[in-house]
Each structure stands twice: as C-alpha cells, then as structure tokens.
Amino acid sequence: MNPVELAYQRVRLDLEAMLQQHDADRLRGMLQGEGLPAIGSDIEPAEQIVFALEIPRFDANLARRLAHMTTPLVDEQSQAMQQQLAESAQAVASAGTSAATSEEISYWQDSRFLFNLFLLAAALPREESLFDALNGFFEQGHKATGLADQGGRAALQLRRALCNQQTDDRLHDYWLDRLNDHTATWNSGRRTELMDAWRGLLWHAQPSSDNGFDPLNRGLLALHDTVAEQPQGFTLLRHALHRLEQAFPTSVGSRGLIQLIRPYWESWPQLLKETASSLWPGLEPKPLAAMPALPPELNQVWQALKPEQQRTLLAFVSAADAEGGKRYIEQKLSFDLPELGLPPQETRHRLLDLEQRLWAPEASAKPKALESDPADWEKVETDSSQWGNVDRGAALEALSHALTAIEQRLARGDEAKARRFLADLIEQQRQQPLPDKLVHLAKTLSKAAGIVQGHGYLDWAEQLLREAMAANPNDEVAASGLADVLKARGELVAAEAQYRDNIARWPNNRVTRNGLATVLRKQGRVTDALRLLPEPHAVQLTQQDLYDLHVRAILLIDLGRADEAHNLLERGSAIAQAPLLQKCFERSLIMLELKLNDHRSARRRLAAMPENVISLQLFRLHAAAAAVEETEARLLYTNLQADLPRLDSDSRRVLDRIEEGFCLMGKSGLCMPDQEALDAIFDAEIDMELAA
C-alpha cells in the first residue's frame, strides 16, 4: 500500500471502531478535522470519510450505519438554531429593534463544520431518520448566516443532501418553487440550483404510473419558462432531459419513453419541444406507406415478409427507433424466417443485412454524457482529428495495458488520475476509424466498469455501463452489468426493471435470470423468485444447471422448506465435479444446519473444511456463539476483526449481524438473539452465499 492508501485504511478502521462504540462525539470531531491524516489542504474532512468508506471492499452496511449516526448531529444543529432564535427574539423584546439588528444570527462558530456535515449526508445511503433531521433543519431557518458564509457552500450542500436523502415527496413544492423563481440572479450558482431542483423532482417520480408524468411535466415547463430567454437555455433543457432519460433506464432507446412523453410533448413550448426532438427523433413520427428503395437482394427479403411484419418494421423506421427495430429482427424475425429458398443461416444473414441497411451504425445516436461540473454549462467545441490506419492487434494490446494502469491507480487510491486516464482512453477509442468502433467502445466501458466496481466506485461503474449501453444498445454484458450495479447499490426496483428488460432481450441468459431471482428475494418475493428456477430433472446436469439448483436450494431455505432444500443440496454435492461448486453446496448445507439449530452437525462439517476461508470462519463464529462456546466465539470474532480489510460487503454484513445478535461487542457474556435478530443473521448469510 502507498501512504495515501494506508492513511485512508486507518480512517476506515477508526470509522468501524467509532460505529461499534456508537461514539457520535468522535464523528463530530472527525467532521471538524480532528484525528484525520494531513493528505492535502484542499480535501475536506467529509471527503476523507467518504474516500475511506469507498476503499475496497465497499461496505454498504457501514455506510448505512454512518448515516444513522449522522442523524443526531443534524438534530443538534437544529436545536442550536432553535435556541438561538429564541434568544434573539427575547433580545428584540428587551432591547429594541436596533439592538436586535446589531446581533447577527450565528449559530455556529465554524461554518465549515456545517458544510462537511451536509457534504457527508449527501454522500451516504438514504436513511429516513437522516432525511427527517435534514428537513427539520431546513424548515427551521436554512437562510441563517452560518449557511451563507464562504459563498453559501453549506447552503448548497444542504440542498444536495436534501435531494439525495429524500424518502418521500414532502419537498416537491419546494423543488417546483425553485424552478419557478424568475427573480434569482442568473449565474453559475443559479444554474446549479436549477439542476439540483430538477434532480429533486426526479428522485421520487414514477412516470409510468397513471398521470405519473404530470409532476415532471410541470417541472419541465417551469424550467423552460425560467431559462428560455437565457444564453444557456437550450443546454440546461438538454441536460434536464438527459437526467430524465438516465433516471428511468429501462425506457432508454425504446418506444416506451417516447410514448409516455408524446402526449405532453405535443403542447410543449417550441424550445422545449425542439430540445426533446433532438434527443428522441421518434417524437415526430413520419409514417411510411412503403419501405424506401432497397438493393435487389434486400428487396427480396422485404417482399418475403408477412404483411404484419412489414407494418411493424415500418413503424420502427417511422419512429426512428433503431433499438426496437433491431430487437424485433433479432428476437422475432430470426425465429420466424421468411421463405427465400436459401439455407436458414443465409436467410438470417440477409435479415441482418436488412437491419444494417435500415439502421446503419454511423446513424446511431451518440452516447449522451452528462456534464461533470454542473456549474459550467457552456458548450465545448472539440476539433475532430484526422483518422489514420489502425493496427487492431496493437490496439488491443494497448487497451489491455491501459486498463491495467487504471486498476493500478485505483489500487493506489489515486482516483483522480484513474478518471483522467480512462477519459483519455475513451476519447481515443471514439476517434478510431473503425466501422465497429462503438461495439469496441462498449466493451471497453464495460471492462472499465468492472474494474471500478471492484474498487467500490458503484456510481462511477453505473455511469460507465450506461455509456456502454448508449454506444452499443445490443451489448448484453453492459446491460447485465448495469443490473448488477443497481442491485449492489440497493436500488432494487430499478435493478428488477433492468433485469426484466435484459431477460426480454436475451431470454436464454440464465445468469440474468438468477440475478432477477436474488433481487426478488431481497424484496421479500421469494416465491416469485423460486418460479424463475424450476428444479432441473435432466439425467446429465450441466454446470449451469447445478448453479441454478444451488440458487433454488437457497431460496427453499429462505422459505423454510428445509427438507426440499436438503435434498437438492445433497444431490448437487454428489453430482458436482468442479471443486468450487462442491464447496458452494457444502457451505449451504452448513447454513441449513445452523438454521435448523443443529449446531453439532454444522460444527462437525466445519471441522473438516479449511480455516482460511472468510465465509467458513463466519459460519464457525455463528455455530460457536449459538452453542454458547464463548471462548471459541470470541477468538474467532477477534480474528475476523483483524481480517476486516479482506471482508467484502456481504461478509461484513454477516459479521455485523452476528456481532449484534450474540452481543459480541460487550464483555459481559454472550446473549442469545431473538427471532428478529436471528432472521437478520440468516438473511445476511443467504446474501453472502448467493453472491459467492
């Protein structure tokens, strides 16, 4: 590890110790810079805390616990402000107006602490109690002088924290009011405020529900009226529509979003209407009575199609829906081939040639990248360099070296350099004179997303995967990766929608189906998840069949159908040849025995297994604590605490639940978890096994 990594590792360990001790005073001190390493004068204390949270492996549970601990600090600030307001009111009554006006309301001696408090709150996972505290502070007097110090940085961060933490729509009217304000000074701060307010409206919108787009429509019209006469009006509106598209990814590139918007779009003002049309040409359909002129061999394909197939393709062409049209050809027509008197494979090639003719790669929409700095909305013009010849072999080798270099920078904790390096790499690929450059670009973005996700940068990984899907909508790897990242972030509704969209496009992808099953389970819909994984009855089971069998067994454990789960696990363990699969079945048998309170069998099975595997050590800890073997349990617990840097987020969640359920933090002896705590332990263990 380099010095920066070691510094953040120490901060991470401090955070973990602080959360174990429920030491809110220590968190307050850290936000004021106490005990933090001197990494750089321009790095805020809250940024150091966030960087420490994100070092591999990212632990979502640690971040959620930190969000819970941040809540009382925000409440303290609200109480301090309320007390000062009362004292000021009393001063007005006793000393008169002149005395009162001479005393500025200043509740905080250090406005930097407020800035860091809200900066941390904006970066943490959503927590209902934290949102309540932030909203309470906001309602009591967010225009106080402490927030206006240093150019209003604390006020900006409060607004962003409110946006990111909101768990309901109580701020809807506030966001709409900010969009409607025509009196504010027009500067970069106002433009940033407008985009924050739009994000606030998007956060809880459900546009696909009945009249669900109405609030967003009102927000777009308000934004238009505010920016239409400003120099950057078009850019702001375009950015807002990009945000809309990215907020609801399952509709991107399909007719769903267009059909949702079109009834509103028809009555929009001209600038907003043209901006939307530039992004989604399908909003202005141009119905075709007949297919445009085609070469003879493709015209033969067209004439061989059924009338309803021709009408469907014409509709896709009219709506400029390239993705929908390609999907229709590849998933429908390829399995209902027209009669051309040619071998099936040749007929499929002709269909794909027709697809290329109708929606050429160079005519595809360019990826829509959001501006990284919301304070700068100026359009940047770039000159296209002249293209030269490309050696594909050399290019692939250079790409491999570049991705390795990016991973090395992330491993050293140098995120800024990794981002710059990747940005340069992507820009170079965009400039390559290859007819299939977008396909290769999507692959590069997907590989980079896997690297950054492995280092805990889930937001960055999501951004890269969305860019990959924009570059090549048919990239199955990018679409699957996006669903996995959404699941990892806890965005279960969005993850489910993405998985279902992927299954519709690639129905034979069993990994995607299993991913959907795990998301449904997290939503409490275990029976629905089980229906996705029928028990395989083939005589010869493939490795994928065995993986499905394993996931099905775990779901049966979750449903309490222990006998069925046991039979499947024994069957899989007997059949599996690959060592990794055999270990999966063995671990799940141990988990089942623990759930059945058969600690003796679990401990006997564990005794024959290796001792350097984290998941097995966690099961040993569970078994020892449940058997009230306190000395053994505390030794295992101490060793696992020393191994914290090796634990991924799922393993850490298991450790946290066992720690809480069996009172391992205290020194007064073990306790037995109640049913709720026991359920939480098994839920975490099931998550760990499904992720293995």
Give first-to-last CA distance, the chain, whole Å.
26
User: 535 to each of 24, 166, 362, 658, 690, how far by Cα in Å?
Assistant: 50, 42, 45, 32, 17
pLDDT at 92: 64
Sketch out the chain's domains with CATH numbers: 3-168 (no CATH), 296-363 (no CATH), 394-508 (1.25.40.10), 597-692 (no CATH)
Q: Are 623 and 594 spatial neighbours (Cβ–Cβ below 8 Å)?
A: yes
* Residue 676: pLDDT over 60: yes
pLDDT at 424: 81
For residue 315, give the amino acid letter: A
Q: Annotate 133-165 with b (16+ C-beta within 10 A) or e (fewer).
A: bbbbbbeebbebebbebeebbbbbbbbbbbbbb
pLDDT at 99: 44
| DSSP string of 185-236, one letter each residue | --SHHHHHHHHHHHHHHHHT--TTSTTTTHHHHHHHHHHHHHHTTSTTHHHH
pLDDT tens by residue, 128-171: 999 999 998 888 765 444 454 445 688 888 988 998 899 888 99
Higher-confidence residue of 148 and 614: namely 614
Q: Are 487 and 511 spatial neighbours (Cβ–Cβ below 8 Å)?
A: no
Measure the CA dihedral 221/225/230/235, to 10°: 0
Which residue's entry shows tokens 């005589």? 539
The residue-averaged pLDDT of 500-528 equals 90
pLDDT tens by residue, 274-327: 888 877 777 776 656 566 678 888 888 888 898 888 888 888 887 777 777 888
Instruction: Tell me the two tokens of residue 462.
Output: 């999501």
pLDDT tens by residue, 615-654: 999 999 999 999 999 999 999 999 898 887 677 778 888 9
Instruction: Tell me the two tokens of residue 258.
Output: 């267009």
Rounded CA gap, 28 and 39, in Å?
Answer: 19
The residue-averaged pLDDT of 171-200 equals 89
Q: State phi, psi for 465 to the nearest 5 degrees.
A: -70, -35
Higher-confidence residue of 257 and 268: namely 268
Least confident segment among 28-32, 176-180, 373-377, 657-661: 373-377
Quote the DSSP letter at residue 644: G
Confidence of residue 242 (pLDDT cuts 50, 70, 90): confident
pLDDT at 381: 29
Higher-confidence residue of 62 and 97: namely 62
The residue-averaged pLDDT of 265-279 equals 86
pLDDT at 27: 93
Rounded CA gap, 618 and 550, in Å?
Answer: 20
* Residue 662: pLDDT over 60: yes
Least confident segment among 203-217, 385-399, 462-476: 385-399
Confidence of residue 360 (pLDDT cuts 50, 70, 90): low
Rounded CA gap, 571 and 569, in Å?
Answer: 5
* Residue 565: pLDDT over 50: yes
- CA neighbor of 654 nearest in space, from 630, 607, 621: 621
pLDDT at 371: 40
Confidence of residue 385 (pLDDT cuts 50, 70, 90): very low
pLDDT at 35: 85
| DSSP string of 465-517, one letter each residue | HHHHHHH-TT-HHHHHHHHHHHHHTT-HHHHHHHHHHHHHH-TT-HHHHHHHH
Highest mean pLDDT among 9-13, 38-42, 293-297, 429-433: 9-13
Q: State phi, psi for 20 to the nearest 5 degrees.
A: -65, -35
